[in-house]
Structure 1
Amino acid sequence: MSSSARRASGAAPSEIDGAAPGARVPNLLGPSFDSVAPVRGPAPSVDPVVRIEHVGKRFGDGPLVLDDISLDIAPGEFVCLLGASGCGKSTLLNLIAGLDRPTAGVIQTPSAGSAVMFQESALMPWLTARRNVELALRLRGVPRSERRDKALVLLATVNLADAAEKRPHELSGGMRQRVALARALAQDRPVLLMDEPFAALDAITRDLLHEELERVWRATGRTIVFVTHNVREAARLGQRVVLLGSRPGRVVQEWRIAKTTGRRIESPEVAALSVEITDQLRKEIRRNAA
């Protein structure tokens, strides 16, 4: 394996150099470099913060939307749920959030609950950015005397302290999503659920928010479940990418990324992983269209 492929795989040099002569070393990014099937990561050494066991969902007498979904999500893990439109990604996220109930199976989540960030920022238009964040603190029971300072700290966390007194109509789309992120963090839940929060933004703004989200994730240690239909976004952000098939939604394949630091949307390893995931996604789309 070349040194560039080795770096892209995230494997340590000793793991490659110590292999027996002629041995094929599994690449943690999957077949993109060496045609070796993806290696399933070891089971978490700690109890999962989210456990999904054989979950199914249908609405009324309609067709099955989700079928036999099983996932364990470890504390502090960044998981991207990826799939074509209509595969049940958002439905699964709503089930994890407790906004709906599964038809079959069990979902275990922390007793403290989850914070949810949607595609739309859904800010209160008559409140400033600071007051929108303070509202979440108020609902959490934070004393009034502490809310202002805590809200400013949270806005600073998302690099928006200088816009604290602006109302939503005075902010760009990206800035509104930063406020929404600060408001979600203000809820102080162990799990952050994100439903395509950057889908409506332009490419440059989305790339900047990817960096902000990664920085906040590393700083706070939150467990993040991020829904997207953008393959590059999933490859850029996730420690684990879970691909869902459609009609009904099922887990088709998972990719675990060993080295997540230093990634950018244009990074070679992101491009390689995106090609691999896209190939599998196309197979699923063709299968469902047949």
Structure 2
Amino acid sequence: MIVLENIHHKYSNLTVLNNINIHLKPGKILCLTGPSGCGKTTLLQIIAGIIKPTSGKVKNQFVQTSYVFQEARLLPWFTTLENIAFGLKAKRITKKQRQKIAIALAQQLGINKAANQYPHQLSGGMQQRVALGRALAVEPDLLLLDEPFSALDIGRKRDFQRLLLKLLSERNMAAILVSHDLAEAVLVADNLIILSPSPSNIVYEWQPDRPSTARDEAYIYKTLSQLLMIPEVATCFRLSTGLFVGSKS
């Protein structure tokens, strides 16, 4: 599992995170959500080891962690398959096996027809699928995702969310998803943590009463209504297509 104990973080004299305590078990999906600028991405980067917290401890017992950024960050001179296979070279996997793994992932992600295309030839949604494939190729047991669906329209977003849930379930993989979209969080999370405006602390935690496969649109919006009746949540949210007030963090 991964455990965060009393995490505090400052940028210069600005406190961003204040006494954050989180634990995540194998195979579970944790969603971090909160208003713009509350430190969601900072917290995810602390979990990833990109940033060292000002104080507190991170105990990560997962073996392999992968990170999917909000922007796809693909290498423009690589094709779809080459981008997916990029992380495998460091693991000393042969070129033939890297190709085999990349082809299988491209098929799973529905981008096999774009196997030999370059990033500039792909839509934003296709690029994000390639980025997800690159993250999955190294077979992580923990996947970190920083608002990977934010640039997609609602139809494509739902398709991508369902695809992600399917892949995580098949691989029994844990994930931490940062999102500014409360409806998305209600759909995907096994545990939802709502963060307050900066300096950020945990103001509310929610766990669903049914599996993600049984959470249809009616369930999602009923749950949204219930959550928004909670004062701590209502101070951060308004019911407007399930989005946080403000721009993306």
Asked whether the two chains share a fold, i.e. TM above 0.5, the reply is yes
Distance 1:111 1:257, change over 3 A: closer
TM-superposed deviation, 1:207: 1.2
TM-superposed deviation, 1:111: 5.8
User: Gaps spanning 5+ residues in structure 1: where?
Assistant: 1-48
Decide whether the 8 Å contact of 2:228 with 2:237 is kept in 1.
Answer: no
Candidates 94, 115, 139, aligned match of 2:45: 94
TM-superposed deviation, 1:263: 4.2
Runs of 4+ more than 4 Å apart? none
Q: Which has the higher contact order (CA 8 A, sep 6+)?
A: 2
TM-score for the superposition, normalised by structure 1: 0.77
| Counterpart Cα distance in 2 of 1:111 and 1:138 | 21
Decide whether the 8 Å contact of 2:34 with 2:195 is kept in 1.
Answer: yes
Do residues 238 (structure 1) and 189 (structure 2) align?
Answer: yes
Do residues 273 (structure 1) and 223 (structure 2) align?
Answer: yes
Counterpart of 1:172, as a letter, is S
Larger radius of gyration: 1
Give the secondary structure class of the aligned counterpart of 2:204.
Answer: strand
Deviations 1:188-218 (A, max 9, x none): 2211000001111111111110111111111
RMSD between aligned residues: 1.7
TM-superposed deviation, 1:247: 2.2
List aligned pairs for 1:1-290, cutoff 5 A. 49-60=1-12, 62-110=13-61, 112-263=63-214, 267-279=217-229, 280-284=232-236
Query: Which moves more between the two structures, 164-173 or 93-102?
Result: 164-173
| Counterpart Cα distance in 2 of 1:211 and 1:67 | 33
Counterpart of 2:11, as a letter, is F
User: Gaps spanning 5+ residues in structure 2: where?
Assistant: 239-249
Decide whether the 8 Å contact of 1:83 with 1:281 is kept in 2.
Answer: no
Deviations 1:234-283 (A, max 9, x none): 0111111110112211011111113124345x522111211233344332
TM-superposed deviation, 1:285: 6.8
TM-superposed deviation, 1:284: 4.2
| Counterpart Cα distance in 1 of 2:181 and 2:29 | 16
TM-score for the superposition, normalised by structure 2: 0.89
Q: How many residues align?
A: 236
